[in-house]
């Protein structure tokens, strides 16, 4: 379990300081979480995101089931780290969080079969991939403003090695808004699971180390407003904190 943080004008690898709620830098210094700037725990390659990959969430948004995955690309500028802020457009009527399991590719995958797919996974992270539904034009071709806004996807706090996640197909996900739980689910309910996704994607494109697959979110999304504090949590991977601010509060 490791993170990337900025402190003292440099970027450091950090790990949890056992039993203290603090972080330990590679040089041995221990700091409080709020003393460092949390970065995404890896520098990503291609970011592939799943839409409506839980049946309950698809039903929640009145979307009929699909025969193959609904996948779109995201730019690296969308990513921010733990304790970061995400801006809400001033004119948005409905912007919501999406707690997701992020899969990090560790070895080149090309035409990989499902049975070997997990051998190409380096590890996992918690992701919170916000969507501004006002801008949605087509489920299969989401407008860039829905999912590619700067800072719209929080990732972290930790990168957890695949060897330390016993069963990625049975992880509980939870979201809290201002301390109240609003979302829950389990990765066993993915319509297209991780081995399927790696086989499917690698059948027509090469996946490389650092590529990210955001696997989708379960039901329970709700509108969030400036000032709201959102925590996304996945068993064994940590708790990802994020705060919403208005565009104007960020000078935009």
DSSP 47-85: EEEEES-BHHHHHHTT----SS-EEEEE-GGGEE-TTEE
Q: Under CATH, what is the fold of the domain 1-39?
A: SH3 type barrels. (2.30.30)
Instruction: Please list, in sequence order, all residues whose beta carbon lies within 8 angstroms of the beta carbon of residue 173, skipping any fewer than 6 positions away.
Output: 99, 100, 101, 183, 184, 185, 186, 187, 217, 218, 232, 233, 234
> Per-residue confidence at 38, pLDDT binned at 50, 70, 90?
very high
Residue 137 — pLDDT band, cuts 50, 70, 90? low
Domain with CATH 2.30.30.370 in the chain: 1-39
If you compute the radius of gyration of the chain from its CA atoms, what whole number of angstroms results?
17
Condensed to tens digits (0 to 9), the pLDDT of residues 161-204 reads: 999 999 999 999 999 999 999 999 999 999 999 999 999 999 99
Q: Which of the listed ranges 19-28, 182-191, 241-250 does the model predict with the highest average pLDDT?
A: 182-191
Tell which residue, 102, 86, 121, has the closest CA to residue 252. Answer: 86
Cβ count near 2 (within 10 Å): 17
Q: 3-class DSSP state for residue 249?
A: helix
CATH 3.90.850.10 domain extents, the chain: 40-250
Q: pLDDT-derived band of residue 140, with 50, 70 and 90 as boundaries?
A: low
pLDDT on residue 143:
65
Report the pLDDT value the prediction gives residue 251, as an integer from 0 to 100.
46
The strand order across the sheet containing 180-186 reads 84-88, 238-246, 229-234, 172-177, 180-186
Predicted local confidence at residue 91, as pLDDT? 87
| pLDDT at residue 217, rounded to an integer | 93
Average pLDDT for 109-117: 97
d(CA 54, CA 143): 21
Contact 11, 91 (CB under 8 A): no
pLDDT at 65: 60
Cα pseudo-dihedral 102, 108, 114, 115, rounded to 10: -110
- Tell me which architecture the domain covering 40-250 has in CATH: Alpha-Beta Complex (3.90)
**Which H or E run includes 195?**
helix 194-202
Residue 148 above 90 pLDDT? no
């Amino acid at each position: 379990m490791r993170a990337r943080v900025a402190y003292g004008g440099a970027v450091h690898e950090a790990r949890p300081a056992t039993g203290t709620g603090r972080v330990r830098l590679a040089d041995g210094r221990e700091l409080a979480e709020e003393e460092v700037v949390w970065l995404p725990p890896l520098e990503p390659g291609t970011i592939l995101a799943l839409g409506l990959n839980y049946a309950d969430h698809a039903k929640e948004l009145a979307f009929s089931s699909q025969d193959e995955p609904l996948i779109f690309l995201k730019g690296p500028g969308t990513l921010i780290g733990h304790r970061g802020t995400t801006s809400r457009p001033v004119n948005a009527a409905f912007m919501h969080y999406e707690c997701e399991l992020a899969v990090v590719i560790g070895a080149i995958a090309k035409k990989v079969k499902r049975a070997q797919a997990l051998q190409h996974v380096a590890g996992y992270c918690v992701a919170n991939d916000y969507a501004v539904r006002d801008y949605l034009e087509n489920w299969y071709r989401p407008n860039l403003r829905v999912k590619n806004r700067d800072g719209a996807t929080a990732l972290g706090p930790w990168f957890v090695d695949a060897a330390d996640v016993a069963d990625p197909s049975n992880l509980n996900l939870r979201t809290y808004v201002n301390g109240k739980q609003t979302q829950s689910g389990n990765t066993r309910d993915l319509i297209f699971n991780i081995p399927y996704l790696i086989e499917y994607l690698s059948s027509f494109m090469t996946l490389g180390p650092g590529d990210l697959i955001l696997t989708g979110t379960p039901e329970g999304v709700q509108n969030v407003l400036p000032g709201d504090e959102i925590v996304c949590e996945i068993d064994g991977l940590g708790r990802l904190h994020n705060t919403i601010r208005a565009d104007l509060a960020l000078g935009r």
